């Protein structure tokens, strides 16, 4: 059993700390946010992640998982300290390092014996050395020693617990083989592949991996847009591409682009790192630009089908950036819904989990409904932005009967076009042939 402190109880810190406790370690999750710690101590998990509440509460009740705002005391009580604070994107696109530096300073002030300091936050290359300098400069006891390790996270929201408990790989960067080995042993219960490297390479691996996946998404979305113009089906194209073992089938699902806490922030951060180092990363800048434009394909299809949005009632199904999370960071809904309102539409929405989070971010005149069927009732068109199971299993016959016009614009390719045709929908998706398009065009002319 190791004594671990995790500084930061956001998505990464809370999931990682809970999983470390689950495999038998004593973990203290600490945060300066008193409200968040009070909620955790009251048994309320402030983020939505399937299975997290049950696992966290069980480990808390069994004494392996503690929550506190006493960050200094937590540091002193542990031999491994994880930094898992946020690194939000600044106005310039680079990662905001204030919270990482604050955590490093706190560690230095409470370094009472040898500790391994592990960067779990997504940080620019060179942060490990910067953390080392800050800790060293703030040591209360000159005789104390420490090691710095980079251990980037690769959790996917919605499947984070299984990703951690059945880890694909653990990247461990350090200039001290002994410290790297101790962190490797910490990951042994997760039955994962271990890759040890230096600090800088470990930090770059995180950015390189995420930006490569973002590149695959933007690439297939660009291909989807061409498919629509030439009459090809992007799903068949992606399947044929994915059969090539050099390419693989993952992250080739066309849609309205990536969002969330990682890909947007990490692509901008790496572009900034490249610029700062003197390299013009044109490919990555095109990936970002393609993703930004892709969100507007929904608007283009709506205008094409309806002939205008003023006074039209539009149902938006799905607000979170992906299913099984309440995370609204960089969600396409935050771009599309304000644009709908700007063009005079009336917006009714449904999301089974993220509605409360969305209320804080979207304009006040957005309506929130209790089901997909209720959201679609009386609407001129329905837009699918998140492929929640509640959307995938909605009663299509009931939705069609309740809509003013049976028009669905599917930004996630959630349904089989043949099924939508059978139900009588005018159906547009991404990179696939439209269903009943001519009928839709005739209706828009007569409105």
Which residues contribute to the annotated binding site for NAD(+)?
Answer: 31, 36, 87, 122, 157, 265, 329
Answer for the pair 157, 322: CB distance below 8 angstroms, yes or no.
Answer: yes
Alpha helices by DSSP H, 191-262: 199-230, 234-242
CB atoms within 10 A of CB 230: 6
Q: Which 3 state secondary structure label does DSSP give 201?
A: helix
Q: Which residues contact 38 (CB under 8 A, 6 or more apart)?
A: none
Per DSSP bridges, beta strands 407-410 and 381-384 are parallel
CB atoms within 10 A of CB 320: 29
Q: Which residues are annotated as a binding site for substrate?
A: 154-157, 206, 251-255, 259, 322
DSSP state of 394: S
Taking the C-alpha atoms of residue 341 and residue 347, their distance in angstroms, rounded to an integer, is 7
At residue 210, φ and ψ (nearest 5 deg) are: -65, -40
Answer for the pair 78, 115: CB distance below 8 angstroms, yes or no.
Answer: yes
Taking the C-alpha atoms of residue 330 and residue 265, their distance in angstroms, rounded to an integer, is 9
Task: Respond yes or no: is residue 262 known to be catalytic.
Answer: yes
Considering only CA atoms, which of 222, 271, 251 is closest in space to residue 156?
A: 251
Q: Which residues contact 4 (CB under 8 A, 6 or more apart)?
A: 17, 20, 25, 26, 27, 28, 78, 79, 80, 81, 82, 186
Q: Which strands form 26-30's sheet, in the order they lie side by side?
A: 65-68, 26-30, 3-7, 80-83, 115-119, 146-150, 169-173, 193-197
Given the residues 227, 262, 379, 382, the one annotated as active site = 262
Beta bridge partners of 249: none
Considering only CA atoms, which of 180, 440, 129, 125 is closest in space to residue 304?
A: 440
- Cα distances (Å, whole numbers) of residue 189 to 25, 141, 345, 381: 11, 34, 53, 50
- Cα distances (Å, whole numbers) of residue 318 to 95, 315, 322, 324: 28, 10, 8, 11
Greatest distance between any 2 Cα atoms in the chain: 82
Q: What is the CA radius of gyration of the chain?
A: 24
Q: Which residues are annotated as a binding site?
A: 31, 36, 87, 122, 154-157, 206, 251-255, 259, 265, 322, 329
Q: Which 3 state secondary structure label does DSSP give 82?
A: strand
Catalytic residues: 262
């Amino acid at each position: 059993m190791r004594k671990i402190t995790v500084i930061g109880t956001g998505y990464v810190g809370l999931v990682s700390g809970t999983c470390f406790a689950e495999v038998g370690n004593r973990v203290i999750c600490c945060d300066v946010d008193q409200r968040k710690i009070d909620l955790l101590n009251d048994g309320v998990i402030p983020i939505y992640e399937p299975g997290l509440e049950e696992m966290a509460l069980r480990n808390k009740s069994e004494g392996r998982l503690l929550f506190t705002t006493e960050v200094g005391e937590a540091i002193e009580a542990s031999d491994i300290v994880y930094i898992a604070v946020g690194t939000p994107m600044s106005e310039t696109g680079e990662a905001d390092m204030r919270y990482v530096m604050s955590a490093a300073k706190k560690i230095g002030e409470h370094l009472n014996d040898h500790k391994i300091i592990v960067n779990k936050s997504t940080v620019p290359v060179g942060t490990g050395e910067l953390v080392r300098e800050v800790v060293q400069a703030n040591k209360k006891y000159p005789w104390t020693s420490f090691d710095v390790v980079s251990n980037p996270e690769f959790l996917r929201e919605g499947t984070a617990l299984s990703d951690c408990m059945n880890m694909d790989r653990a990247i461990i960067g350090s200039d001290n083989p002994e410290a790297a080995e101790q962190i490797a042993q910490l990951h042994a219960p997760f039955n994962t592949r271990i890759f040890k490297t230096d600090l800088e390479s470990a930090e770059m691996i995180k950015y390189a991996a995420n930006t490569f996946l973002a590149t695959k998404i933007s690439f297939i979305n660009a291909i989807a847009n061409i498919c629509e113009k030439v009459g090809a089906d992007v799903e068949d194209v992606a399947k044929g591409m994915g059969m090539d073992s050099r390419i693989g089938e993952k992250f080739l699902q066309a849609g309205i682009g990536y969002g969330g806490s990682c890909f947007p922030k990490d692509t901008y951060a790496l572009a900034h790192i490249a610029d700062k180092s003197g390299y013009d990363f044109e490919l990555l800048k095109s990936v970002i630009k393609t993703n930004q434009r892709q969100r507007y394909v929904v608007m283009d299809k709506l205008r094409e089908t309806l002939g205008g949005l003023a006074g039209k009632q539009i149902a938006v199904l799905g607000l979170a950036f992906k299913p099984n999370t309440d995370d609204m960071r960089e969600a396409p809904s935050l771009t599309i819904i304000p644009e709908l309102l700007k063009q005079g539409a009336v917006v009714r929405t449904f999301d089974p989990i993220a509605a409360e989070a969305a209320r804080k971010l979207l304009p006040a005149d957005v309506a929130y409904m209790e089901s997909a069927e209720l959201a679609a009732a009386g609407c001129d068109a329905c837009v699918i932005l998140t492929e929640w199971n509640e959307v995938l299993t909605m009663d299509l016959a009931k939705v069609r009967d309740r809509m003013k016009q049976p028009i669905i614009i599917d930004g996630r390719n959630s349904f089989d076009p043949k099924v939508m045709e059978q139900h009588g929908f005018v159906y547009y998706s991404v990179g696939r042939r439209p269903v009943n398009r001519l009928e839709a065009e005739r209706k828009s002319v007569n409105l």
